Amino acid sequence: MFTKNKHSKRDKRDGNYKQKILIYTLVIALFWAKMYFIQGSIFTLGVENSNEAAILAFNPLSSIFLLFGLGVFLFGRKGLLATYIFGSVLLYVNVLFYREYNDFITIPMLGQVANLAGLGSSITNILSISDILLFVDVFVAVFLLFYVKPSRFTFFIPKRREGLILAVIAIPLFLVNLAWAETERTDLLERAFDRNMLVKYIGVMNYHVYDIVLQGQTEMKKTFADSNELVPAINYLNEKHTTPNKEMKGAAEGKNVIMISLESTQTFVVDNTLNGEEITPYFNELKEEGAYFNNFYHQVKQGRTSDSEFITENSLYGLNRGAAFFTHAGNEYEASPELLGENGYYTASMHANDKSFWNRDVMYDSLGYDKFYSKADYEVTEDKSYGWGYLDEYFFEDSLDKMEEMEQPFYTKMITLTNHHPFVLPEDKKYIEEGDFSSGTLNRYFQTMRYQDEALKQFVEDFKQSDLYDDTILVIYGDHEGISENHTQAMSEYLDKDINDYEQFQLQRVPLLILGEGIDGKEYDTVGGQIDLRPTLMNLLGIKDDNPVQFGQDLFSEDRREMMITRDGDFANEEYVGVKDQCYDRETGEPVEGEACAPLFEEAQEELALSDSIIYGDLLRYLDETEVVEEMESEKTEETNK
């Protein structure tokens, strides 16, 4: 009898153990299938061979074991279900972010949830009814978590040691994954700027773990930074320094400056047509009146419009992760508004959106603006709004009225809204037919671009009739691309050519036009980027800019280093375009064999790293201290010479 009971208990224990293994296997398999589908079908990761395909299939496993292991270790059965739900939501957030930006969410971006309130139709446009299929398993998990009595699962009571075992198994799985990935890409974890590559080789969940590690390192940099860290950047920039154009120096001295940041505006629409109609007829004519740069690139990353603001006003690169407007708004800067204010200018930014969007109300104080005209300062009504808010034509009209009342000289930055994803307009504002390509986003983009051009025409023509015209220069530029890599097929259809990496890189060009008395109408082939706007503007205004920590150079300078670097570490110069470690001839787009671009890729990485060190370490707070040391050393040298 005793033996029988003993065998019965052992059999029951063995049966429960087998059922546990079955449950664990089922949960892991379901989540693996979801991750594999999302990584392989929704994300465009550029799998090039069978080895990469196998790595992509293998890489979810270590993160799944870690995620579920920690859940069980900390909270038991509910922890397993809760982490399943958490993981599913995190995957879906990445799906939405990827559809919009062709990028993956980072820790700094999670701090920008305030922006979600302003996304409106952009979010609804990237949702898909089929997305519900990604949550069928989650609904089952929620049902099990909240509606099934624990007594029905008495055989499945996970123990803490089981969670620990799962988490420990994750370590060798990841090491195998990393070693395997290194057969395709050496020094993989050094390439934190290429999130697509990281996700392809280590998986989206492991990428997030790595991102947490990077964030921890970032937080430490400011804490332990000191003035010595600024010296390498100053030395590097002194070596790269070129003389601004002497003929253009002071060409706009004492004049007002109106900077117009055109939302999502790319150069490919300029001088181009749709169904025989010009997309930007007014701008096509206007650019003949001033200095137009046709090889000017945006350099933004996750910070989008705020990145373009940061770059143009500081001549520093934006961040690879998150946006400096959020993560480093409390830093010490030596920005254009502050410098202009010190030279007698009244400075203002104009943007008819909520003042807290992209944390502008905080960041603008750090940049030195006197005034921020936000949504509250405009007569925003329902009949004057659509899509993202205040229509450009009314924004331009109201802003011109405000500028006519400003103390002069002034520096104002205007940021438009209407030409924003998902690119929608009321029927009476559609001045051109939609496109007929495989992307609705691209099809609508032509219409909002045409509307923006008409609104710009109204503003510039009114401006020319105002008292401001003779004493003001206009600087008009695109802030970032509007059509991402997710619409490559449609762009290929419209442009009637294959869009490879080189062509996609060239699509990152945005227009730059500088208008004003003393600035001749001329088209420039100079390769440059948004980082060059500040030194160009200061030279035109004849303002001495003593800040030695600027990575841009005067666009008019004849001996300037024509080197434009993107946040991804790609570049363009007079001869080459370097994209994803591949070298192309800039004029023909043909691949270039050999090591011609290798030193240029290295230079790009060095420059980005130096800029990052300045921002992450808040090193500009030591700028005056560094100058004092230099002055003291100079005084000692003079005394020695005496």
| Cis status, amide bond into 409, omega within 30 of 0 | yes
Q: At what angle do helices 50-58 and 60-101 cross, to 10 degrees?
A: 110
Are residues 63 and 209 in contact, defined by beta-carbon separation less than 8 angstroms?
yes
Sign of the four-CA dihedral 405, 334, 554, 601: negative
Candidates 125, 72, 80, 70; CA nearest to 100 is 125
Residue type, 136: V
Give the number of other CB atoms < 10 A from CB of residue 607.
21
In the beta sheet, which residues pair with residue 546?
none
Q: What residues contact residue 216 under an 8 Å CB cut-off, 6+ apart?
A: none
| Region of 319 on the Ramachandran plot (φ > 0 left; ψ -120 to 50 alpha; else beta) | beta
> Per the structure block, which two tokens stand in for 299?
């350099």
| Region of 254 on the Ramachandran plot (φ > 0 left; ψ -120 to 50 alpha; else beta) | left
Backbone angles phi, psi at 585, to 5 degrees: -70, 125
Are residues 301 and 570 in contact, defined by beta-carbon separation less than 8 angstroms?
no
| Long-range Cβ contact pairs of 631-639 (< 8 A, separation 24 or more) | none
Q: How far apart are CA 68 and CA 87, in angstroms?
A: 9
> Per the structure block, which two tokens stand in for 126?
């990237």
Q: How far apart are CA 65 and CA 78, in angstroms?
A: 16
Radius of gyration of the chain from its Cα atoms, rounded to whole angstroms: 28
Sheet holding 472-478, edge to edge: 371-373, 346-350, 410-415, 256-262, 472-478, 512-515, 291-297, 522-529
| Residues annotated catalytic, as ranges | 305
Residue type, 262: L
Q: C-alpha distances in angstroms, 177 versus 211, 221, 276, 413?
A: 17, 29, 53, 48
For 330, counting Cβ atoms within 10 Å of its Cβ (0-12 exposed, 13-18 middle, 19+ buried), the class is exposed
Q: What is the DSSP annotation of 581-627?
A: TEEEETTT--B--SSTTHHHHHHHHHHHHHHHHHHHTTGGGGHHHHH
Candidates 45, 21, 523; CA nearest to 267 is 523
Give the number of other CB atoms < 10 A from CB of residue 1.
5
| Cis status, amide bond into 422, omega within 30 of 0 | yes
Sheet holding 576-579, edge to edge: 563-565, 571-573, 576-579, 582-585
Are residues 361 and 340 in contact, defined by beta-carbon separation less than 8 angstroms?
no
> Per the structure block, which two tokens stand in for 249?
């120096």
Are residues 406 and 412 in contact, defined by beta-carbon separation less than 8 angstroms?
yes
Candidates 591, 626, 114; CA nearest to 332 is 626
